[in-house]
Amino acid sequence: MGGLESPARVAAVVVPNDLADLGNTSRSIYVGTSGDLAVHMIGQSVPVVFKAVPVGILPIRADRVLVTGTTAADIVALW
């Protein structure tokens, strides 16, 4: 398995949830419909909101995508 600079090997549709972590920490997150994206970054429990995220890949390592504060849609976690 390659390092973090290697292309993603697995993708999973994300259903934002305030209580449940993603199955794995993301390598990046694809946003299919632009908007705000609220996440817990790797190892953090305080939400961070990325405002007005455009369609495309956001290179962040997140443990959770929150429903509260997220207006972006068609979200896919990559790892």
pTM surpassing 0.85?
yes
Q: Where are the strands (E) in the chain, listed by range?
A: 11-13, 28-33, 35-41, 48-53, 56-58, 62-65, 73-78
Instruction: For residue 66, give the nearest of 43, 40, 46 by alpha carbon.
Output: 40
Contact by Cβ (8 Å): 12, 55? no
Measured between alpha carbons, how far is 33 from 20 in angstroms, rounded to an integer?
22
pLDDT recorded at residue 62: 98
The pLDDT tens digits of the residues spanning 20-31 come to 999 999 999 999
Q: How far apart are CA 20 and CA 59, in angstroms?
A: 21
Please report, rounded to a whole number, the percentage of residues in the chain having pLDDT higher than 70. Answer: 97
Q: Indicate the pLDDT class of residue 6, thresholds 50, 70 and 90.
A: confident
